[in-house]
Structure 1
């Protein structure tokens, strides 16, 4: 990453290609959190006219004496106010700083939590928690997908933008993407709360919500998500979610032409053999594909390439 990416990002001067590259860097998450934290702060109200009026009331003058306002001092006051805001922002950020782990495209990551619970992050995902408060609350925030093997103990909570998952000690998988939320329980019992509605999910069951519509399905008892075995499996899932997962697992750019990406797909593709993965998607749907470098195009059989 070039040294000037940060400055250009803050000024909204990055090109689209530079922005994509910058977002994949490990440093981007930290810069983004600092920016988000400080953006919530408001600078203290400071009335320059009132400040100078107060100074005028305390100064000693004579008829012959004239007091000239020194512009350098005005500048100092402005700088002091800015510094105060920045210091407050830094304190706010550091006081809420969590342990955070992220994965890029085509990357998995194993994490051991303070209570020895185990988490494996799927591609393009993020997990955050407060290590200082862990003994009080076993809470984690999740973006993306992760498999959890929770040690028995106090209530364990996984917070996502689309729902809340609560357990005491069990094995389960959580995936949260745009308009897509799925929780699968492999062992024990999981409580899933969506829009203030709680659903008890026993082992061997899966709850999937797409665009606010929820469905239940079966899952293997004492099993594990397929992606841990380097496969991605789907059951009646809109095709565009399948394409998104293909893109995440192989770090490639996926596009389609004259294909209904809302059609439902049931099947599995390999996460370690790109040619086999493309055939696993295209053959059942009777569509074609063209792979060039890190770009793949799916198209209808009669559609022009």
Structure 2
């Protein structure tokens, strides 16, 4: 009677902890007998009939499914609980660790200025993003950059900007970092900037630049107190025209096809972020090229052939 009582409560998931412990101590034969008796209440196919427990065991032994291992539900329930705890723990870990990271992203033609916890300022160019840990910023001033940004760093501990191509380190200064595809450029406007690239340390005083363009590194000098793109004008000095057209795409909602030209031709000049036609004219005119526009698509043509 006690076994039947425990079994019925188990079916309804009403066992108390002490009753569950007693239920788990039932041997397999007792449990199978209870299951058999309970199963007689349900309709089964006519060809499947069991008269007694011994016949039930014989049929069970000869069925094709005998290779399938059966796990008793109370233990399965425990395993499920453990799995649920693991999933919840991993989920909480992801939530708490991801919440420590602040990510800011700009879209096409968008610029955004961000003030960091130490009052340093970052201005993001179009289609760029930074990521940093706000909670630990006072201990480690470090952020990751994808795209282009201008930095005005407050004086203090070392400030690191990590990109896919190199790491830029400063103590307090203003500088510009651009990392797009296979193009990486650092321009120092004030103070001293250190660039770590390919296990080499390159120091850039104010007015100096470092560039990595498709595996080729160069250094040079510049003039001015900051990048022109902050004032809605993109300026280039001996940059492959492919990168110039990609910058036009970032500043305007447009797709440019320059497959008909030599995209490695170097361009020096700039364009305004105001009117697309004027921007394209300022680029294609000096290079003896033309362009056609249709909706949000532009095709560049070479007129020298």
| 1:68-83 superposed matches below 5 A | 74=76, 77-78=79-80, 81=83
Q: 1:188-199 maps to which residues of 2 (within 5 A)?
A: 188-199=191-202
Match of residue 61, structure 1, among 27, 50, 57: 27
Query: Are the equivalent residues in 2 in contact too, given 1:109–1:121 (CA < 8 A)?
Result: yes
3-state SS of the aligned residue for 1:154? coil
Residue 151 of structure 1 and its aligned partner are, at CA, apart by 0.8
Shift of 1:229: 1.7
Q: CA deviation at 1:70?
A: 6.0
Number of aligned pairs?
A: 246
1:166 equivalent to 2:132? Answer no
- Aligned-residue CA RMSD in angstroms? 2.4
Answer whether contact 1:257 1:300 (CA < 8 A) is retained: no
CA distance in structure 2 between the aligned counterparts of 1:285 and 1:86, rounded to whole angstroms: 60
What residue in structure 2 maps to residue 259 of structure 1? 261
1:209-288 equivalences under 5 Å are: 209-221=212-224, 223-288=225-290
> Unpaired segments of 5 or more residues in structure 2?
1-20, 36-70
The change in CA–CA distance for 1:210 and 1:73 in structure 2 (over 3 A counts) is: same
CA contact (8 A) 1:173 1:183 kept: yes
Q: 2: distance between equivalents of 1:62 and 1:288?
A: 86
Is contact 2:242-2:258 (8 Å) kept? no
Secondary structure, aligned partner of 1:99: strand
- CA distance in 2 between partners of 1:217 and 1:144 (Å): 21
Q: Is 1:202 aligned to 2:205, yes or no?
A: yes
Q: Work out which of the two has the higher radius of gyration on C-alpha atoms and give 1 or 2.
A: 2
Q: 137, 141, 147: which one pairs with 1:138?
A: 141
Deviation at 1:72, TM superposition (A): 9.7
The correspondence for 2:125, drawn from 122, 125, 135, is: 122
Residues 1:174 and 1:73: Cα distance change in structure 2 (over 3 Å): same
| 1:198 partner SS | strand
Per-residue deviation, 1:264:
1.6
Cα offsets for 1:71-121 (capped at 9, x unmatched): 798488458626633540441342243111110011000111111111100
Q: Distance in 1 between matches of 2:184 and 2:170?
A: 17
Distance 1:86 1:275 in 2: 55
Q: Secondary structure at the match of 1:284?
A: coil
Instruction: Describe the SS at the equivalent of 1:278.
Output: helix
**Partners of 2:215 and 2:264 in 1: how far apart?**
15
CA distance in 2, matches of 1:178, 1:169: 28
Contact 1:124 1:248 in 2 (8 A): yes
